Amino acid sequence: MDAPWLNNWIGDTNPRTDPNRGIKHSSPIVRGGVYNRLSSNPDLLFDFSPLMSHSAASRYRIPTLELLRAGGKSAVARALGLIETAEGDPDLTHLLDEAAADPFGDVLGLTGPPGVGKSTLTSRLIQHARAAGQTVGVVAVDPSSQISGGALLGDRTRLRTDPDDGGVFVRSMAARDRLGGLSDHAIAAVVLMRAVYDLVLVESVGVGQSEGDIACVADTVLLLIQPGSGDSLQFMKAGIMELPDIVAVTKADMGDAARRAAADVAGALSLANPVHGETPVLAISAATGAGIDELVATIVARRQQSLSNGTRSTRRAAQAAQWVRDGTLRRFGVEGAASVDLARLLETSNGPFSAIEAIKSLLRARLSLT
């Protein structure tokens, strides 16, 4: 089989041999019986051509969701690259809609001020998930310069992961012009990764009180607070206090200071969210591991509750509607968004990303934009 494009998509991440097939594959990422490495035996070659999407309107080789799930880390990396280079491509839009409609894993968003310990906790959560046999994808968002537009992308260097572990994939992304921390590309990356991995961790840029974009993608928002961050009044002023599903006070090994911070946060939460019940406030130390097991148990319990009472599906539907609205507002402003029926276009489209492209085409035509 002559398939030169195959080398660009088929990964070689932590392979192991299947004695029944004679083909190497990465079992944590393989789903649906599709293998991600070919044997030297030509009789065992698997034809991936039907799994590649290449319509007449597309200028790119866009993988199907099935191939993306089977292709390992290299396939995911290339697909995330296409989010930037092939934006607006009809096949990429179809892939994103398909991924949005078939989420595989849970998304945990970590937010909090710089220096609170987000990267250290992310490393701990990765270790815990891998020990439990879960595959993990990480989106680490770094702030962008308002002058150059560039970003250091340094969060990745703080994460302690095994590069040979095919069950962990880390992607650093820039916040671009988003004060809240998540660009359109970052949202699309989370959508793709949650269709592949058991757990997706989104480590936000950490800009403080004004950050709220994390709630647009996360199934569970985890707010991190460190001792000495402020008193109850200071926490009440922070709009982000209305968003978290769980709050963790880091550096619990500081003793009394950590306990005071936990009490202040609990008081602020009772006033910020009086109708949503009690938000768990936990004391943890990512450096020593104290409280991590309790935190993971709390996250799992909340996931099970959201699945049983239906709030998970409701939240994800609201997030998709928010993506469409935010994307329209950023491109065409308030008047542009008000001139179209966003809800109807989302309802009649194949998914949120198709709706965004349809709105872009409609408003560009009205404004005579190319």
Domain's final residue, options 73, 100, 127: 100
Domain ends where: 100, 134, 157? 100
One-letter amino acid for residue 331 of the chain: R
56/73 same-domain check? yes
- Name residues of the chain where pLDDT drops below 50: 1-51, 209
Domain boundary among 38, 73, 100: 100
Cα–Cα distance list, 90 to 54, 87, 97, 354 (Å): 9, 9, 11, 8
Q: CB-based contacts of 335: which residues, under 8 Å, 6+ apart?
A: none
Clarify whether residues 286 and 346 are in a common domain: no
Q: pTM to 2 decimals? A: 0.80
* Domain at 186, CATH number: 3.40.50.300
Q: What is the pLDDT of residue 53?
A: 54
pLDDT single digits (tens) 203-244: 987 655 456 788 899 999 999 988 877 655 566 655 667 788
Query: Looking at the structure, do residues 268 and 337 belong to the same domain, yes or no?
Result: no
CA distance 247 to 121: 13
**Do 73 and 180 reside in the same domain of the chain?**
no
The pLDDT score that the predictor gives to residue 212 is: 73
pLDDT recorded at residue 161? 77
CB 75 within 8 A of CB 34: no
**pLDDT for res 164:** 84
Instruction: Give the pLDDT confidence of 83-93 residue by residue, as tens digits.
Output: 989 999 999 99
Q: Quick one: 259 and 337 in the same domain? A: no
Do 178 and 298 reside in the same domain of the chain?
A: yes
Full residue range of the structural domain in which residue 318 is found: 313-367
Question: Do 148 and 281 sit in the same domain of this protein?
Answer: yes
Q: Can you list the positions of beta strands (E) in the chain?
A: 16-18, 23-25, 52-53, 62-63, 106-111, 136-142, 168-174, 199-203, 220-225, 246-249, 281-283
pLDDT given at position 55: 59
User: How many domains does the chain contain in total?
Assistant: 3
Question: Could you tell me if 239 and 161 lie in one domain?
Answer: yes
* Residues 318 and 181 grouped into a single domain: no
